Chain A
Amino acid sequence: MIEIKDIEKSFGDTKVLKGISTTFETGKTNLIIGRSGSGKTVMLKTLLGIHTPEKGSISFDGRIYSELTRDEKRSLRTEIGMVFQGSALFDSMNVEDNVAFPLKMFTNKRGREIKDRVNEVLERVNLVDANYKFPNEISGGMQKRVAIARAIVNNPKYLFCDEPNSGLDPETSILIDELIQEITREYDMTTVINTHDMNSVLQIGEKIVFLKNGIKEWEGTNEQILETRNKSIVEFVYSSELFKKVRESLLEEDDEERKQDLNIKDE
């Protein structure tokens, strides 16, 4: 479980996070949502220790990050898996070496053990026969799978994902979302996902934190989000719903045109 208490983060005179408190539970997919510039990425980077908050505390299963020694922080980081927005695979390494990287760096496992574990996680993310391909030789969806495999190969306690389905087609997006949720339950991890994809919110949002201008505006579940009367979140959800309605109306128009075409041919 990750507990955040009253964190504040500024860049120069701009306050990006303004006293955010929340809890991300173990075994659940926790989502941070909000419009671009709402502070989602800064919050994720603060959780990861890339940014240091000026105020407040972050605790990982009772371990308060700011109170840890340098070595304890490094040790905690080995318990963290991260899936970056652009996958961030090492482009000089093939798929197998990318996934094996954390094992080579932080464990005393030998060649055969490493290979077996790599194959196990690659199979888990439904990626077989890609071991010797380089990141630029595989699709965006496959890159995301490799990134997930690399993030979970060392059995992390915490999994962070930054926009895991950005740049993916809707079908692949759903598969990636499902995979993350399944893995979270299977490995009993605390998963925190940064997204603005409404499909993900509705599909895997077991806990949702909505940020607006650096403030936690709302929190709840994917069921509660559809029923809430909070104006900001309704506006955010509606912006996605709008596209859906536009698509529906276009499809209706398309159907009417087809019917008219058929009538002309019959005549």
Chain B
Amino acid sequence: MIKEVFNKPTKWSVMKSLILKEIDDLIIGSMGIVAFISFFIGGVVAIQTALNLTNPLIPKSLIAFATRQSVILEFAPTFISIIMAGRAGSYITSSIGTMRVTEQIDALEVMGVNAINYLIFPKIVAFTLYPFVIAISMFLGIMGGWLAGVYGGFVGSDQFLEGIQTDFIPFHVFYAFLKTFVFGMLLATIPSFHGFYMKGGALEVGKASTTSFVWTSVVIITVNYIITQLLLS
């Protein structure tokens, strides 16, 4: 399938509008839910850390440090990718699956269109912008932590700002974005595969969406472990 994605590309003028449509549907369309979840989870991480810091010898700036590390290393890249597997992944599988069921893919192929390239390539290109979504998620997660920490009375603003700069390792950001990029490719291809090669009717479209979500999540979690093992251990 991957070979066919890049084989005999669709006319550029058509592909351009397809890519823009997919960016709108998959990336911009996901921003709302990503922003909402990131902001509140960041806040919750900060509160949970604060509530567990019972030893007065541990500085309060650790709340910010823990929030930053949790958000950048795991929450934004991995947790948001699982959310995206449900949101964008199900959308991809059900839209391509419905096209399969209603013979729209057959219609493309009979016309001489490389259906795999036409349907999947724009999604892969759109997901190359996925790291931007995660960057925004990281920012909003830390913002949520700051607001919850400061306005909840757990930590002072200065202490929080000091904490988020403590022991900052730029490689962690590189690691987070590298795995985000890999997850983006998985989010584009696994649901597309399940939709494109599904068989049956409307009921099977629903089943394919569920299966695609499960497999995308499983692969993301597994790949996350492998990348973490390779880069951080």
Total CB contacts across the A-B interface at under 8 A: 51
Known contacts being A85-B103, A86-B102, A86-B103, is A105 close to B14, with CB within 8 Å? yes
Classify the interface of chain A: helix, strand, loop or mixed.
mixed
Alpha-carbon gap, A221 to B106, bound state (A):
30
Mark out the residues of chain A between 76 and 91 whose CB falls within 8 Å of any chain B CB in the assembled complex: 76-78, 80, 82, 84-86, 88-91
Known contacts being A88-B102, A105-B11, A105-B14, is A75 close to B112, with CB within 8 Å? yes
Contact B103 A80 (CB under 8 A): no
Alpha-carbon gap, A82 to B107, bound state (A):
7
Contact of B110 (CB < 8 Å), options: A75, A80, A105? A80
Known contacts being A74-B8, A104-B13, is A84 close to B106, with CB within 8 Å? yes
Known contacts being A74-B8, A88-B102, A91-B102, is A102 close to B111, with CB within 8 Å? yes
User: Which of A50, A82, A88, A91 gathers most chain B CB within 10 Å?
Assistant: A88
Contact B107 A88 (CB under 8 A): yes
Alpha-carbon gap, A71 to B121, bound state (A):
20
Tell me which residues across on chain B come within 8 A of A80, comparing CB atoms.
110-112
Tell me which residues across on chain A come within 8 A of B104, comparing CB atoms.
88-91
Tell me which residues across on chain A come within 8 A of B102, comparing CB atoms.
86, 88, 91
Tell me which residues across on chain A come within 8 A of B110, comparing CB atoms.
48-50, 77, 80, 82, 160
Q: Which residue from chain B places its CB closest to the CB of A162 in the assembled complex?
A: B103
Q: B74 contacts the other chain (Cβ, under 8 Å)? A: no
Q: A243 contacts the other chain (Cβ, under 8 Å)? A: no
Alpha-carbon gap, A48 to B110, bound state (A):
7
Tell me which residues across on chain B come within 8 A of A104, comparing CB atoms.
11, 13-14
Tell me which residues across on chain A come within 8 A of B111, comparing CB atoms.
77-78, 80, 82, 101-102, 105-106
Alpha-carbon gap, A86 to B100, bound state (A):
12
Tell me which residues across on chain A come within 8 A of B103, comparing CB atoms.
84-86, 88
User: Which of B11, B13, B104 gathers most chain A CB within 10 Å?
Assistant: B104
Q: Which residue from chain B places its CB closest to the CB of A156 in the assembled complex?
A: B111
Contact A50 B106 (CB under 8 A): yes
Given contacts A48-B110, A105-B11, A106-B112, 19 further A-B contacts (CB under 8 A): A49-B110, A50-B106, A50-B109, A77-B110, A77-B112, A78-B111, A82-B107, A84-B103, A85-B103, A86-B103, A88-B102, A88-B104, A88-B106, A88-B107, A89-B104, A90-B104, A105-B14, A105-B113, A106-B111
Interface residues of A (CB under 8 A from B): 48-50, 74-78, 80, 82, 84-86, 88-91, 101-102, 104-106, 160
What are the 5 A-B residue pairs with the smallest beta carbon separation, nearest first?
A: A77-B112, A88-B103, A88-B107, A74-B112, A82-B110
